[in-house]
């Protein structure tokens, strides 16, 4: 193949250029020097090419870690970055604390039973209208109305509880330094909602369990004869009728053992229906001889309506055949639909009410998390990410450019010596032979020659050599070189002196330090060391372990059932003050407190473990110990206060309503012939309740019905409880005002404990905020604190009222249930009947029935005085809740009340000097507002809250402030101005 002449010409020209290429040209005319320079050039090019090839291969094949940075990324940009760099992407939020309400919407879906006709008042009234005197106590119809009253109340309580905690949840904030991915955000939100559900469940179950156990240990008597039977008998020795309460005995089918509610916490029996009239068994019910006509699936019988409710299921109410069997036993009819099995549910028809209550009747909490809203709230300042890659030609090019500059200089310096070395080795034998023939010169001569060479090199040193042969230009270049070196030395000297005497602040960064490294750094740089945390909110359970150690009593034999049941006294008359008669109940109560304490503490620890410890920086070991100690002390104090408040509130409600104890420790029944007081009466014999048993302590007599602590006296009237009308305020006035005083005291304790806990919480902010924003945020925080405190108190009070009332416990005040004796036999059991007020409202189906209270003529229903605002209801507590302070603002009303109270038989011996409340004082509560609303507000007129921005600023102590200015830079001619 022939090469075209033009290419041949170019080839020859290029070859000639390369052959003669001299990069080290010194303009020498010596052919040996020129040849040496050309050889040096060739070696230089070879070394440079080889080095470039090696460097290119290395930089191309090596894995490079690069960092990307995007300022103020949009959501689209962030999503793209997240898809590409999910493991290394970090985008700090402008706000580290974002309220859930800005991006989360929640809706609780409740079990269908809570909106079914079975919780309606019409169904409750329908199931109540049955003659209990013609039913066995274990007939499911005996408790059916109360079951649905309890389910209705618990549904309402569960709904209120979950609504409140969800409102509390959306007012709380998600804390995170960096933005979360959409999946992680939804997962964290769902986890937070799961904790909310647990918190709501605890808020309902804890007081409910406490109420149930208090009722059990106090042996409160139900009006349905399920745990005690009211027995009328004739005392031949005294020749008079007497009333006693005897325990009910249940002998389960196929068994000979007794189950007694006095000694057993529970006596569950299958839900039976009996289609025949019962006979008097004197409190002993042998299921081997009492044969049921029908057993309804899912329904059980137990000692109290609450136990019956918790142990039952809704199975029968999903089944039309079962419901028809139940409905056919009633004289009246009602149209009601069964529960729908086709509706989706996470519960089965066989799930007990206890399971439903533990889950707050919640089917699902719908959670809509809006990621767009979250992103706009987070507003990432920037996004940074790292990634690994190869064959980055930009990196290769920049590396080559960076290295070739230095390599070029190095090779230019080294290559001539390499060529010299090669030529030297090549001519070594010739030089060696020649040197053998020459005489060795003295060392002084060598030194002199070396000094002359150095001197000539310094004189001829030229940094600005342009290869000119003009002596003038050469001299000028050498002078310029000397001036340059002099100025360079001066500049370096000034720089060294300046850096030596100036103080410099050096910031060192250690990536991912270990604890040992951190502690060493803390010892050396304690005042300046800062170590930001990657995660600023850490659950307590990650670093705090709490294990309670209980008093030895709670592990002793004294709280075992075999011990306190062995102390039960059977068949003996009660003697006040004799410990033997209530020893069993005493130790049963101790066991109850141990059980409740354990439940309370375990639940409190679980809730505490999920609380976040928020701190942006790593703190020292000593500070960590101090903070955790404060946190644990606050946890212990708040748990104690919460338990004590609930216990006190429940205890005060129970005491105010004075429920009859089966041990008769707070009074005793009797039967009187009312015809001796009233000339015309349909049923002359009535069971009444004598005033509570008087106890003597410190030489003082006090009544358990007036003050449980027996430390102060309230004036009461020692009369038969049901001879006058129930609305006569003289009969129970001391109980009304005594409970009011207790509520005032409880409200003060509650708000004080709540304030103490609130002041221990932390205010979280990533940076200082302006005072206006601080004021807004503090107002929202304190408002939420006040709402939570009021709601929690009201929740426990309302739950206590509902559960206690709907358990049909009989009050010694006989405001809700009473006994009516229609005939006198030597031995007979007497069923209790619900009180029916003048407006035909039955306390058996409603606890909020009421009628106006006042002063009545003795042993008649003639009202002499009506006290404005006082509405007597089915219990002392309900009476107070539904009344107002209207009369207490009016001195004339108070004086008139005292006049009738001291003149109309039965009379109060002495009037009391009482001054009316001042109506002119400013108050947010009107005189006509119900007391329940004032109690729900904890009697607080105003919560005076002061917060200091300057104190907040001092505690925040900003590390630095940065700001950005946007300026328009204009270059102007000053002379033209």
Q: For 189-211, what is the mean pLDDT? A: 90
Q: What are phi and psi of 13, to 5 degrees?
A: -65, -45
The yes-or-no verdict on residue 561 having pLDDT over 90 is no
- Cα angle value 836/838/842 (rounded, 5°): 25
Quote the longest CA-to-CA distance of the chain.
166
Q: For 195-223, what is the mean pLDDT? A: 90
More confident residue, 329 or 262: 329
Cβ proximity of 671 and 821 under 8 Å: yes
Q: Across-strand partners of 863?
A: 856
Query: In the structure, what pLDDT confidence band is assigned to residue 335 with cuts at 50, 70 and 90?
Result: very high
Helix, strand, or coil (residue 229): strand
The yes-or-no verdict on residue 700 having pLDDT over 70 is no
User: What is the structure's pLDDT at 968?
Assistant: 53
**pLDDT tens-digit map of 394-413:** 777 777 777 777 777 777 77
CA 195/CA 589 separation, integer angstroms: 32
Least confident of 112-126, 526-540, 543-557: 526-540
**pLDDT tens-digit map of 60-102:** 777 777 788 899 999 999 999 989 888 888 899 988 889 999 9
User: What is the structure's pLDDT at 297?
Assistant: 93
Calculate the alpha carbon distances from 19 to 12, 330, 333, 417, 466 in Å. Answer: 10, 124, 122, 21, 23
Query: In the structure, what pLDDT confidence band is assigned to residue 308 with cuts at 50, 70 and 90?
Result: very high
Two structure tokens written together for 710: 């027996």
The yes-or-no verdict on residue 337 having pLDDT over 90 is yes
Query: In the structure, what pLDDT confidence band is assigned to residue 574 with cuts at 50, 70 and 90?
Result: low
More confident residue, 44 or 78: 78
User: What is the structure's pLDDT at 701?
Assistant: 47
Residue with token string 């090199």: 457
Helix, strand, or coil (residue 259): strand
Q: Quick one: which of 312, 308, 328, 331 has its CA closest to 320?
A: 328
User: What is the structure's pLDDT at 345?
Assistant: 94
Q: What is the mean pLDDT of the chain?
A: 81
Q: How many CB atoms lie within 10 A of CB 303?
A: 26
Least confident of 129-138, 261-270, 497-506: 497-506
Cβ proximity of 672 and 720 under 8 Å: yes
Rg of the Cα trace of the chain? 47
The yes-or-no verdict on residue 363 having pLDDT over 60 is yes
Q: For 503-532, what is the mean pLDDT? A: 83
Q: How many CB atoms lie within 10 A of CB 934?
A: 21
Query: In the structure, what pLDDT confidence band is assigned to residue 447 with cuts at 50, 70 and 90?
Result: confident
For the chain, give the percent of residues with pLDDT over 70.
Answer: 83
Q: Pairing state of beta strands 249-251 and 284-286? A: parallel
More confident residue, 492 or 790: 790
User: What is the structure's pLDDT at 723?
Assistant: 44
For the chain, give the percent of residues with pLDDT over 90.
Answer: 29
Least confident of 206-215, 257-266, 366-375, 666-675: 666-675
The yes-or-no verdict on residue 706 having pLDDT over 50 is no
User: What is the structure's pLDDT at 58?
Assistant: 79
User: What is the structure's pLDDT at 698?
Assistant: 45
**pLDDT tens-digit map of 845-895:** 998 899 888 888 765 667 888 899 999 999 999 999 999 999 999 999 989
Domain extent listing, the chain: 1-62+390-433, 98-223+265-382, 441-500, 615-955
ω into residue 906 within 30 of 0, thus cis?
yes
Q: Quick one: which of 765, 758, 761 has its CA closest to 788?
A: 758
On the CB side of 30, CA atoms within 13 Å amount to 6
Q: For 333-357, what is the mean pLDDT? A: 94
User: What is the structure's pLDDT at 677?
Assistant: 44
Query: In the structure, what pLDDT confidence band is assigned to residue 710 with cuts at 50, 70 and 90?
Result: very low
Least confident of 236-250, 691-705, 957-971: 691-705
More confident residue, 760 or 591: 591
The yes-or-no verdict on residue 713 having pLDDT over 50 is no
Query: In the structure, what pLDDT confidence band is assigned to residue 722 with cuts at 50, 70 and 90?
Result: very low
């Amino acid at each position: 193949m022939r090469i075209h002449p033009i290419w041949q010409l170019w080839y020859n020209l290029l070859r000639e250029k390369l052959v003669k290429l001299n990069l080290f040209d010194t303009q020498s005319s010596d052919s040996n020097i020129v040849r040496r320079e050309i050889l040096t050039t060739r070696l230089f090019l070879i070394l440079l090419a080889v080095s470039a090839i090696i460097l290119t291969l290395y930089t191309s094949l090596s894995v490079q870690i690069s960092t990307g940075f995007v300022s103020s990324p949009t959501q689209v940009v962030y999503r793209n970055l997240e898809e590409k760099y999910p493991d290394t992407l970090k985008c700090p939020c402008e706000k580290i604390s974002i309220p859930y309400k800005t991006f989360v919407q929640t809706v609780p879906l409740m079990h269908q039973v809570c909106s079914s006709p079975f919780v309606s008042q019409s169904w409750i009234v329908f199931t109540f209208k049955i003659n209990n005197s013609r039913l066995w106590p274990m007939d499911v119809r005996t408790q059916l109305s109360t079951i649905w009253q309890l389910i209705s109340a618990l549904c309402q309580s569960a709904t209120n509880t979950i609504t409140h905690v969800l409102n509390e949840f959306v007012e709380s904030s998600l804390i995170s330094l960096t933005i979360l991915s959409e999946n992680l955000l939804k997962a964290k939100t769902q986890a937070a909602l799961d904790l909310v559900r647990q918190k709501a469940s605890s808020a309902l179950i804890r007081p409910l369990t406490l109420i149930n156990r208090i009722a059990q240990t106090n042996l409160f008597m139900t009006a349905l004869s399920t745990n005690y039977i009211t027995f009328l008998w004739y005392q031949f020795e005294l020749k008079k009728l007497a009333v006693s309460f005897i325990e009910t005995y249940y002998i389960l089918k196929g068994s000979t053992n007794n189950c007694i509610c006095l000694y057993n916490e529970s006596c569950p029996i299958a839900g039976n229906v009996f289609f025949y009239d019962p006979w008097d068994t004197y409190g002993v019910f042998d299921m081997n001889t009492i044969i049921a006509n029908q057993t309804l699936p899912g329904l059980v019988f137990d000692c109290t309506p609450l136990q019956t409710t918790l142990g039952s299921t809704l199975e029968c109410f999903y089944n039309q055949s079962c419901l028809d069997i139940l409905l056919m036993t009633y004289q009246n009819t009602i149209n009601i639909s069964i529960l729908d099995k086709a509706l989706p549910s996470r519960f089965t028809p066989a799930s007990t009410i206890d399971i439903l209550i533990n889950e707050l009747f919640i089917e699902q909490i719908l959670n809509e998390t809006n990621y767009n809203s979250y992103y706009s709230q987070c507003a990432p300042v920037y996004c940074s990410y790292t990634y690994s890659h190869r064959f980055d030609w930009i990196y290769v090019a920049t590396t080559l450019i960076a290295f070739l500059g230095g390599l070029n200089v190095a090779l230019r310096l080294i290559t001539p010596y390499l060529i010299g070395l090669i030529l030297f080795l090549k001519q070594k034998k010739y030089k060696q032979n020649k040197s053998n023939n020459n005489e060795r010169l003295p060392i002084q001569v060598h030194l002199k020659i070396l000094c002359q060479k150095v001197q000539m090199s310094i004189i001829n040193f030229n940094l600005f050599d342009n290869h000119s042969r003009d002596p003038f230009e050469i001299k000028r270049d050498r002078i310029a070189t000397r001036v340059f070196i002099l100025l360079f030395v001066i500049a370096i000297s000034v720089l060294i002196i300046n850096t030596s005497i100036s103080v410099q602040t050096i910031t060192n960064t250690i990536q991912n330090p270990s604890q040992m490294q951190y502690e060493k750094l803390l010892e050396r740089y304690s005042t300046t060391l800062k170590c930001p945390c990657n995660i600023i909110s850490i659950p307590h359970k990650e670093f705090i372990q709490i294990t309670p150690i209980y008093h030895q009593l709670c592990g002793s034999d004294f709280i075992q059932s075999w011990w306190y049941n062995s102390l039960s006294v059977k068949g003996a008359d009660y003697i006040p003050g004799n410990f033997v008669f209530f020893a069993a109940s005493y130790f049963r109560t101790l066991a109850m407190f141990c059980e409740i304490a354990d439940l309370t503490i375990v639940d409190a620890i679980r809730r505490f473990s999920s609380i976040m410890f928020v701190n942006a920086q790593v703190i020292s070991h000593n500070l960590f110990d101090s903070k955790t100690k404060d946190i644990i002390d606050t946890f212990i104090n708040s748990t104690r206060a919460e338990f004590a408040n609930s216990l006190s509130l429940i205890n005060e409600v129970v005491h105010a309503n004075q429920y009859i104890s089966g041990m008769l420790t707070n009074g005793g029944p009797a039967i009187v012939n009312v015809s001796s007081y009233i000339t015309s009466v349909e049923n002359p014999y009535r069971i009444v309740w004598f005033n509570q048993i008087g106890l003597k302590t410190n030489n003082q007599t006090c009544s358990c019905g007036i003050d449980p602590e027996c430390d102060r006296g309230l004036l009461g009237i020692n009369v038969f409880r049901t001879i006058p009308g129930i609305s006569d305020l003289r009969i129970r006035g001391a109980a009304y005002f005594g409970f009011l005083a207790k509520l005032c005291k409880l409200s003060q304790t509650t708000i004080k404990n709540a304030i103490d806990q609130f002041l221990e919480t932390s205010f979280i902010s990533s940076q200082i905020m302006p005072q206006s924003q601080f004021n807004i945020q503090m107002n929202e925080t304190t408002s939420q604190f006040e709402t939570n405190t009021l709601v929690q108190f009201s929740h426990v009070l309302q739950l206590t009222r509902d559960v206690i009332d709907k358990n049909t416990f009989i009050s010694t005040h006989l405001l809700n249930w009473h006994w009516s004796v229609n005939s006198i036999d030597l031995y007979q059991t007497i069923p209790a009947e619900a009180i029916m007020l003048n407006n035909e409202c039955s306390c058996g189906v409603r606890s909020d029935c009421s009628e106006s209270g006042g002063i009545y003529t003795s042993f008649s229903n003639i009202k002499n005085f009506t006290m404005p605002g006082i509405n007597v209801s089915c219990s002392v507590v309900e009476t107070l809740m539904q009344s107002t302070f209207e009369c207490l603002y009016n001195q004339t009303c108070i004086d008139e009340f005292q006049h009738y109270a001291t003149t109309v038989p039965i009379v109060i011996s002495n009037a009391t000097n009482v001054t009316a409340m001042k109506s002119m004082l400013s108050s947010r509560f009107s005189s006509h507002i119900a007391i329940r609303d004032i109690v729900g507000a904890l009697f607080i007129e105003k919560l005076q809250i002061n917060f200091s921005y300057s104190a907040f600023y001092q505690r925040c102590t900003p590390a630095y402030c940065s700001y950005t200015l946007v300026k328009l830079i204009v270059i102007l001619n000053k002379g033209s101005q």
